[in-house]
């Protein structure tokens, strides 16, 4: 097999790192560490975007990388940290249901994602097309994380990490969306997190905790 250019190998490395971080998030019990992992994922994403920009000469991707860096490595983790400090709840450790099983399901999802991505990857003309499968796997793992978590902040981190996976899909399959769209998406994510921050306070005010088991009262026929 012909060797890839150096930058493409770097991207593959970062893609693998992204997938690894997704698995780590799936198994992480401590909320603060979860935020660190999310920031690390953002860093890997920003780095890979910057490398794609350098390697292919797509200069608008530098902007996109910068945006990712500011938003996902600094701003969002900072907001989440602040929220946790302000909320001051004893909920650092979260009981997870059956980590090994979750991991096994995660592996199945990765296989599925690669299968789904295979026909699309073959059509791609970008050097980074092999990473599309990884991007889809990240999206699915974040989805799994949202399903298995019972507390509000880990669910939101799962949601944000899904957004990371999608961004990675966009850069790896197409060299990034048009700038105006990326800005719009970034704005939506930021506003969404701010709204959720306000929300957390209200949920805690009402229920004295951020455990989502309290939010399962609305049922059919009641």
Interface residues with other proteins (CB under 8 A)?
58, 116, 119-120, 123-125, 139, 143, 146, 152, 155, 159, 162-163, 166, 169-170, 173-175, 177-181, 184-185, 187-188, 191-192, 195-196, 199, 202-203, 206-207, 212, 214-218, 220-222
Rounded Cα distance between 134 and 51, Å, is: 17
Least distance (Å) between residue 62 CB and other proteins: 15
Least distance between other proteins and beta carbon 129 (Å): 10
Cβ-based nearer residue to other proteins, 107 or 118 = 118
Main-chain dihedrals φ then ψ at residue 5, nearest 5 degrees: -60, 155
Measured in degrees and rounded to the nearest 5, phi and psi for residue 29 equal -90, -35
For other proteins, which is the closer residue by CB, 4 or 185?
185
Question: Which DSSP letter does residue 211 get?
Answer: B
Q: What is the DSSP string of 79-108?
A: HHHHHHHHH--S-SB---S-HHHHHHHHHH
| Smallest distance, other proteins to C-beta of residue 145, A | 11
**What is the radius of gyration, based on Cα positions, of the chain?**
18
């Amino acid at each position: 097999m012909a060797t890839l250019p150096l930058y493409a190998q770097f991207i593959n490395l970062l893609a693998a790192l992204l997938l690894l971080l997704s698995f780590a998030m799936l198994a992480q019990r401590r909320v603060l560490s979860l935020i660190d992992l999310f920031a690390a994922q953002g860093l890997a994403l920003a780095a890979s975007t910057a490398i794609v920009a350098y390697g292919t000469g797509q200069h608008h991707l530098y902007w996109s990388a910068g945006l990712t860096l500011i938003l996902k490595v600094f701003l969002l983790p900072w907001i989440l940290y602040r929220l946790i400090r302000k909320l001051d709840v004893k909920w650092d450790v979260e009981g997870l249901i059956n980590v090994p099983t979750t991991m096994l399901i995660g592996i199945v999802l990765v296989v599925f994602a690669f299968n789904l991505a295979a026909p699309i990857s073959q059509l791609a003309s970008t050097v980074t097309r092999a990473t599309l499968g990884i991007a889809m796997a990240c999206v699915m793992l974040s989805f799994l994380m949202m399903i298995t978590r019972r507390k509000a902040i880990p669910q939101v981190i799962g949601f944000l990490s899904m957004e990371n996976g999608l961004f990675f899909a966009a850069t790896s399959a197409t060299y990034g969306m048009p700038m105006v769209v990326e800005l719009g998406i970034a704005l939506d994510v930021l506003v969404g997190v701010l709204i959720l921050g306000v929300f957390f306070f209200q949920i805690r005010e009402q229920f004295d905790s951020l455990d989502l088991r309290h939010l399962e009262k609305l049922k059919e026929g009641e």
